[in-house]
Amino acid sequence: MRHDFFDIISRDAFQKLLLEFPCSGTESVSIEEACGRFAAVDILSPEDLPPVNRSCMDGFAVNAADVFGSGESEPSYLECVAELGVDQYPDFEISPGECARIATGGTLPEGSDAVVMVEHTGIMGADTVEIRKSAAPGENVMLKGEDCAKGKAVLKEGQKIRFQDVGLLAALGISEIKVHKKPSVGILSTGDELTDIKSGSIPGKMRDVNSYTLRCLVEKAGGIPQNYGIIGDNLEALKSALKKALAENDLVLLSGGSSVGVRDFTVQAIEEMKDSAILAHGVAISPGKPTILGKSEGKPILGLPGQVTSVQIIMLVLVIPFIKHISGSKNPFKGRVLIPAELARNTASKQGREDYVRVKLEKRENNLPLAHPLIGKSGLLRTMTEAEGLMVIAEDTEGSYAGKQVEIWLL
């Protein structure tokens, strides 16, 4: 069945359709390759970390009860029975009235439960140490299992693995981890008007911009981009390229060919793929309304607008989070960096659509930054290259007034 008209759905409804697609498969990778990936299972700690009570400071391991009430005017005096390096395991026990010199990271001997920093001590001769500060139990001590207890989940399924998480995995001796596979994303640019970027300026033609920006954004989202070149306005050529891209990728992006017109074959090409369906043709977003969501044999296909600004907005709002979703993220549509700003001028919008207004920010001393809307047509690159953020105008409003405090999504 041909769709020769838009059937606009809300951005929220479009997101829900995207979230119905399953995550990618799983694979095991070394922790050297794990940063930025999403855990495919809960990762449990195989041991306590630290495995023993360790000192946080250079000083003296003591029993806190022995130095209770100690101060500059009333110090305590303890007998130092040993000096422990960071790599030494103590085979003795601290008795009442005793202490042991200890280095940062050193293991506390039995009978001690605190460390007094060396700055608050003095050597009185022989093995006597003056303690000029009291200590509470556990003070200046990393307790056994305090960082991570054995059996505790150090990473939850769907959690993005950060550099600090890699450090924790290394500390626990975990050298390999199961993660979701990076999705492979096929990129097709469509339209007789497109030429290679190495071509000279030709009347009636324009260089292919979208495949390059899409590649950057796919990589930003954690996907693996695969470019299939420029496909002219020919249904059979598009079907052939789409079939190949679907066979070789987890997701296919077609830029151009999503608007209504006799030369646009995206919908027909999707419908003629095996076990296919059109799930949505149009989303209530500006710019970016003529966006198509389809599937073939369970694989998602997104028909994106051809206009350069429109496609970039749709990538930021919908496609990057979607790639994160199929990469294993639990909350792909959350996490925007928002800052408050004051709107510099009245900005109109049409009800019934969510408007993404590009803005430039003007810093002001001791005040909110001033957000200047960058008004321009969706075919202009300028509004995106100059933009520092996006102001979202809700679909149930007709705009926003100058002087109003608004939230800016930082780019």
Q: For a pLDDT cut of 70, what percent of the chain falls above it?
A: 96
3 pLDDT tier (thresholds 50, 70, 90): very low
Q: Residue count of the chain, please give it.
A: 411
* Mean pLDDT on 140-149: 96
6 pLDDT tier (thresholds 50, 70, 90): low
**101-137 pLDDT tens trace:** 999 999 999 999 999 999 999 999 889 999 999 999 9
378 pLDDT tier (thresholds 50, 70, 90): low
Q: Residue 4: is its pLDDT beyond 50?
A: no
| The 3-state secondary structure of the chain, one letter per residue | CCCCCCECECHHHHHHHHHCCCCCCEEEEEHHHCCCCEECCCEECCCCECCCCEECCCEEEECHHHHCCCCCCCCEEEEEEEEECCCCCCCCECCCCEEEEECCCCECCECCCEEEEHHHEEEEECCEEEECCCCCCCCCEECCCCCECCCCEEECCCCECCHHHHHHHHHCCCCEEEEECCCEEEEEEECCCEECCCCCCCCCCEECCHHHHHHHHHHHHCCEEEEEEEECCCHHHHHHHHHHHHHHCCEEEEECCCCCCCCCCHHHHHHCCCCEEEEEECECEECCCCCEEEEECCEEEEEECCCHHHHHHHHHHHHHHHHHHHCCCCCCCCCCCEEEEEECCCEECCCCCEEEEEEEEECCCCCCCEEEECCCCCCCCHHHHCCCEEEEECCCCCEECCCCEEEEEEC
Q: For a pLDDT cut of 90, what percent of the chain falls above it?
A: 85
* Mean pLDDT on 269-281: 95
pLDDT given at position 181: 97
22 pLDDT tier (thresholds 50, 70, 90): very high
List the beta bridge partners of residue 184. 224
Q: Residue 41: is its pLDDT beyond 60?
A: yes
The dihedral through the CA atoms of 391, 395, 401, 407 has a sign that is negative
* Mean pLDDT on 89-98: 96
Residues 68 and 50: beta-carbon distance below 8 Å: no
The 10 Å Cβ neighbour count of residue 346 is 12
Q: Residue 404: is its pLDDT beyond 90?
A: yes
Cα 58 to its chain centre, rounded Å, is: 38
257 pLDDT tier (thresholds 50, 70, 90): low
The 10 Å Cβ neighbour count of residue 199 is 12
Q: Which two tokens stand for residue 256?
A: 């151009």
Token match 């979703």: residue? Answer: 325
197 pLDDT tier (thresholds 50, 70, 90): confident
pLDDT given at position 94: 96
- Rounded Cα distance, 253 and 324, in Å: 15
Lowest mean pLDDT among 121-130, 143-152, 198-207, 268-277: 198-207
What's the chain's average pLDDT?
93
pLDDT given at position 131: 97
**284-306 pLDDT tens trace:** 999 999 999 999 999 999 999 98
- Rounded Cα distance, 191 and 210, in Å: 12
83 pLDDT tier (thresholds 50, 70, 90): very high
pLDDT given at position 262: 38
Closest CA to 50 of 86, 100, 83, 26: 86
The 10 Å Cβ neighbour count of residue 49 is 20
Q: Residue 198: is its pLDDT beyond 90?
A: no
Q: Which domains does the chain have, with CATH numbers?
A: 11-25+181-326 (3.40.980.10), 28-46+155-180 (3.90.105.10), 54-142 (2.170.190.11), 338-410 (2.40.340.10)
Q: Residue 1: is its pLDDT beyond 90?
A: no
**204-240 pLDDT tens trace:** 788 899 999 999 999 999 999 999 999 988 899 999 9
**298-355 pLDDT tens trace:** 999 999 998 999 999 999 999 999 999 999 999 999 989 999 999 999 999 988 999 9
Closest CA to 237 of 194, 300, 191, 201: 191
pLDDT given at position 191: 87
